[in-house]
Every structure is written in structure tokens, then in C-alpha cells.
Structure 1
Amino acid sequence: MKSLKVVFLGTPEFAKTSLEAIHQSSHEVVGVVTVADKASGRGQKISQSPVKVYASENNIPVFQPEKLRNPEFLEELRKLEADVFVVVAFRMMPKVLFEMPKIGTFNLHASLLPDYRGAAPINYAVINGEEKTGATTFFINEKIDEGNILLQEELEILPDENAGSLHDRLMIMGSKLVVKTLNGLAENSITERPQPHVEHPKNAYKIFKEDTKINWNAPSKTVHQFILGMSPYPAAFTTIKIGEEEKGLKIFAGKFEIDNHGKPSGTLDISKNDFKIYTEDGVYFPQELQLEGKKRMSVKDFLNGFRNFDEISL
């Protein structure tokens, strides 16, 4: 099989796993493009992306352009004479960049396209209670996540699985799919196909802070899936009143029961041994949570931190 020369573009851990898989395959990674180093944390220490760390450890040339249209950067990439660019969890790319390699530029997306185009496909698959999802490799064009499909693979979503667990499983499955795609392109054995037309494809828009608030007026199952789909990141939250002070409360895990309780949705029932919130059609029991300014903890440890439960409400 022909060995392809690959330029890899990506940033987070999800991308690093694919880079590692390509590097360990018969194909040659001739360059890596990733985000610029940035200061983070309390000490404002300079941090490098997981992709850069791996590339540096394995002596792969790294490019960190501020602007992807920078002529000097583009010229440096051209000199690498790559056959194909592989994109995993990167950013929007200009046409001058994705049209550079002779085979083209393909992307790994963590959904079964055309469903869940956008920035948060894993979160929304869980939030919407899907029973399966998957990964797709497709050629990039000028429309976001709409290029011709190369390969797809399905993955079952497990009962009560959260976005974090699904992310990790898709990360491994996706890395294998990337190598399989490269092998197919090298052998000229993949027939690209347009994405099927769907009147109303399910979307996976970027999640903002205001999108993570829990709606207790919803059915219990909807609340449960929402919390799983936001866990561990960006984390679903509600607000809680402790005396006169209102604080954010992130909820990462819990369980629910259907119950014709007749109480207003969003009512809190809390005591030394019990913490439940009434929903439209039942009760939700938080099991892992994090009060604003505190660390993540079990509900037992959370309840042990209070003495006067009468002053706590939603």
C-alpha cells in the first residue's frame, strides 16, 4: 500500500488520539498545525495543546499561525508537498488552505452526518436520548460539515452514558476510522458520496453558558438526559438559594423516578439524608454535584456540609 504524506490539523485530546494513530500507521505525518500556546490557570502558565505536545515529543514539525491565510505559513505548508490534510477538532479553514493538497482535506466529525452538524455533536446526541451515534470522515468544502462522505461507522450509546464517556469511546473509534480512510484513499478504494438530503437535520450548535441551565418544568427523562449530555463538560447547572445568597449548582449525575407528586416543578426537598427536585412528572435525585466556589462531590458529602436545611431552596 502507498504511504501518504499527511499534514494534521487539530488541537485537543480528541485530535491527539487521531494524530497518534496516523503516526503509528504506514503513513507519514510531515507537519502539524495547531492553536498558538496560551496562558491559563491561576499562575497564567503557558500551556500547549495536546496535539503540539505529541508532535514535539515525536519530532514532527509544528505550525501555530495566528491567521490561516498568512502567506508565509501557506508557503511553508506547500513546501511539505503533502498528499492529504487531516482535520480533527480544529477551526474553520479558508479555501486556499483546504484545497492545497492534491487528494484534498478530510475531517473527522463525531456524528453520523448529516445529523448533528456543528460544534457539540456528542453532547446533543446524549441530550436528545439517541440510542446510537458514530463518526464520519468527509472531504471539507466551503459549507460547515456538509462535504462528501468518505467513511462512516456507528456506535451504540450505552444506557445512562454521559457525554464524557461517549467522547472517549468516539475518540478511539474515530482515530481508527481516520487511518482506515487514509488507507482507502491510498488504495483508491473509497467512493465519496454526497451527504443525503434531510429536510430537518438535527443540529449540534455551539453550547454557551446560558444553554446549560436545567429546566425543571421538563419531564424527568428529559432532565436526566440533559444532565448526562452536559456532563462532565460544560456541566448542567441550576441556582440554589442558601439564606439570602443565590449560588450556582452544577449537577453531573443523578437518577429519576416517575411520580404523580402534584407539587410544583422545581420544588426542592432537602434534608440530612435526602435531596430531591420535583420535575413535571416525577422526581430527580442529584448524585454528583458542585456548589459554586466548592469542589465536585457526592450528594452525601454535599448534604454533610449543611446544618440548617430550612434556609435552602431553588
Structure 2
Amino acid sequence: MTKLIFMGTPDFSATVLKGLLADDRYEILAVTTQPDRAVGRKKEIKMTPVKEVALEHNIPVYQPEKLSGSTELENLMALGADGIVTAAFGQFLPPKLLNAVDFAVNVHASLLPKYRGGAPIHYAIINGELEAGVTIMEMVKEMDAGDMVAKASTPILDSDNVGTMFEKLAVIGRDLLLETLPGYISGDIKPEPQNHDEATFSPNISPEEERIDWNKSAREIFNQIRGMYPWPVAHTILDGNRFKIYEAQLVDGQGQAGQIIEKTKKTLVVAAESGAISLTSVQPAGKPRMAIADFLNGVGRNLEVGDRFGQ
């Protein structure tokens, strides 16, 4: 039985961890995840999904704010693990830890060498990619630059967003890992180097990137909205206040960028530089998220055709 340390944080990681736990070829000695954080308006402390899974299986959990130089690092190195599996952990692994095990692989949600970094699914959708995928790669000191063990891909549909793609890719990543890890450990699968000249990067989304530029095409804005849903959520400006747009649809229409070109009791259509989008789920400043019909029946009832977003 191969003894593993697992490192990960969100639901994506939890799906991979569950797959390893269900496979009797592996023993999870410990789990490392990000510290518990305060979330929501009430700032309630919440465990990471990976921690929840670990505790359900009575697995020791380590949560260093920074792994490098921590007492947790020394404890992990003393466990005698054969290898490390990471999936959306959110921290770099110190070289001394990588050198202390026989192997360390990462389940990364992109088709490397494209979209190295912390937000690969977001950028794949925002940039209008036709497919996304998962790469199993060896861990090295440089971010997401290790040799590739295996890849698998799936189409990105117009109905997809970050949430749906995370769910799809988590299952793909889990299955790909379980399929290829034995061959990698035995040496039957030989990793292939990445072409570093083709590398692109996907850093965490900045607040500036969340704001919609209505001078872009409707397709670009549509991709931005679903590439930031369910987090961090795209926004625009309405009456000087932030106005979040959770979901929208591509529709036909023309007008000045950011201008409302159609309003009914249940629809609100806004023009882009070319084409238009119909808003379906929004959040005005100081209000909860709501369907567009509820917005138009409430705080948005005074909006008129010709009014503009983004000013």
C-alpha cells in the first residue's frame, strides 16, 4: 500500500481525496489544507471541504498559514510518506518536503502548459476556450512547470460556468489520477516535459478584472460573467453603485455600449459594443441576489430604455 500525504482545499480537491480514500491501494497518512476562514456576511468560521472529508475519515489535518518553515512541515516530513498528491492546495511546497518523498504530483485544472496558476478554469472560460482539462504533473519548485504524467479534456459549453466546470474537472481529475498513478509509481508511465515557450498564466482574479467593460463584445462580456460565476462575480456600475451580475444570456440587439435597449416585466437587455446580453440574476447594491424579474418589480422598476450601465 502506497502511503500518501494529500494537500488541497476546495470542493475540487475534496473530490480527488474521496477517490483516493476509496482506493485500497493508498493510505492517506495526513491531509494539509488552508486554515479555516471567516465567510459570508456573518463572518462565520468555516472548514475547508478537504478538512471536512479528512475529519469524516479520522485523518490528521494540518493547516499551516504558510507551510515553509512551519512546525507542521517538520511533522509531515516525519510521517514517512511515500508520496504527496496535491490538488488546488493554494501554497507552494518547500523543496525540502519534495525531496523527502519518492514522488509528488499535482492535479491541475488546465491543459498545461496553458493556464499555470491559481485560476485556470476562470481564464479558460473568460478567454473563450472551447475546451478545458486536467493535467497530472510532477511537482517542482516553479509554479505548475513540472513534467506531465497525463492529460484529459472536456468541452466548455455556453451553459457552463466556473462552478459547473469545477465539478466536471474534479471528476475527470480524480479518475485520471486513479488511472495513471499506479503506472507512474511503477515507472511504466514516463512523464513528458512541458514546452515552456507555450506557457500562459492564470493568476487569481483581481478586483479590476471583475468590472464589466461594456465596450467589449456581447460574447466577451457573456464569457466574463460566467467565467466569474459563482465567484468572484462580475459587476458593473448603476447609479454610482456596484451592481453584480451573476448570470446572463446572449441575445440579439444593438445600441450604445451599456445602454438598456429592452425592458419588460421579466427581461432587461443591455447593449454591448456589438450584440447584447439579457440579465437573468443580479444583485443591486445593499440588496441580496435576485432574479431579474424580482429586481424589475422592485428597486429596478424606475429603469427605462436608454438608461446606461457602467457610468
TM, length-normalised to structure 1: 0.90
* 1:213-228 matches, cutoff 5 A: 213-228=211-226
CA distances 1:77-135 after superposition (whole Å, capped 9, x unpaired): 23321111011111112211222202x21111101000111111101111111111110
Amino acid at match of 1:101: V
Amino acid aligned to 1:252: Y
Q: Over aligned residues, Cα RMSD in angstroms?
A: 2.0
- Is the partner of 1:302 in helix, strand or coil? helix
Whole-angstrom distance in 1 between the partners of 2:161 and 2:44 = 31
3-state DSSP of counterpart to 1:28: strand
| Counterpart among 244, 257, 260 of residue 265 in structure 1 | 257
What number of residue pairs does the alignment pair up?
304
Aligned 1:148-187 pairs, distance under 5 A:
148-187=147-186
Please give the per-residue CA displacement for 1:214-255, whole angstroms capped at 9, x wherever unaligned.
1110111111111111111111111111xxxx2211112222
* Residue pair 2:282, 2:289 contacting (<8 A) in 1 also: yes
- Match in the other structure for 2:10: 12
* C-alpha contact 2:263 2:269 (8 A) present in aligned 1: no
Query: What corresponds to 1:297 in structure 2?
Result: 290
C-alpha change, 1:41 and 1:300, in structure 2 (3 Å) is closer
Query: In the superposition, relative to structure 1, how do residues 307 and 11 fare at CA in structure 2: closer, same or farther (>3 Å)?
Result: closer
Aligned to 1:24: 22
Cα deviation per residue 1:32-83 (whole Å; 9 max; x = unaligned)?
A: 1112234444554432211112111101111222332336433322332111
Q: Does the aligned pair in 2 maintain the 1:8–1:85 contact within 8 Å? A: yes
Counterpart of 1:248 in structure 2: which amino acid?
R
Contact 2:210–2:232, Cα closer than 8 Å, also in 1: yes
Q: Which amino acid aligns with 2:278?
A: F
Q: 1:203 to 1:19 in 2, by over 3 A?
A: same
Unaligned runs of 5+ in 2: none
Shift of residue 203, structure 1, vs aligned partner: 2.6
CA deviation profile, 1:153-202 (whole Å, cap 9, x unmatched): 11111233111111111111111222223222333221011012434x33
Most deviating of 229-238 and 46-55: 46-55
Q: Which residue of structure 1 lines up, in the alignment, with residue 268 of structure 2?
A: 275
With 269-278 and 46-55 compared, the bigger mean Cα shift is at 269-278
- Determine whether 1:101 maps to 2:101: yes
Match of 1:255 in 2: 249
Any conservation in 1 of the 2:295–2:301 contact (CA below 8 Å)? no
Whether contact under 8 Å (2:20, 2:26) holds in the other structure is yes
Distance 1:223 1:146 in 2: 31
Aligned-partner Cα distance in 1 for 2:233–2:292: 16
Cα drift, residue 289 of structure 1: 1.3
Q: Residues 44 and 206 of structure 1: is their aligned pair in 2 closer, same or farther, counting only changes over 3 Å?
A: closer
Displacement of 1:145 in angstroms is: 0.7
What is the DSSP-based 3-state SS (H/G/I as helix, E as strand, rest coil) of the residue aligned with 1:160? Answer: coil
Gaps of 5+ in 1: none
Q: Percent of counterpart pairs with the same letter?
A: 36
Alpha-carbon distance in structure 1 between the residues aligned to 2:72 and 2:135: 29
Cα deviations by residue, 1:8-55 (Å, 9 ceiling, x for unpaired): 011111111111111111211111111223444455443221111211
Question: Which AA in structure 1 matches 2:33?
Answer: T
Q: Pick which of 155-164 and 209-218 moved more.
A: 155-164
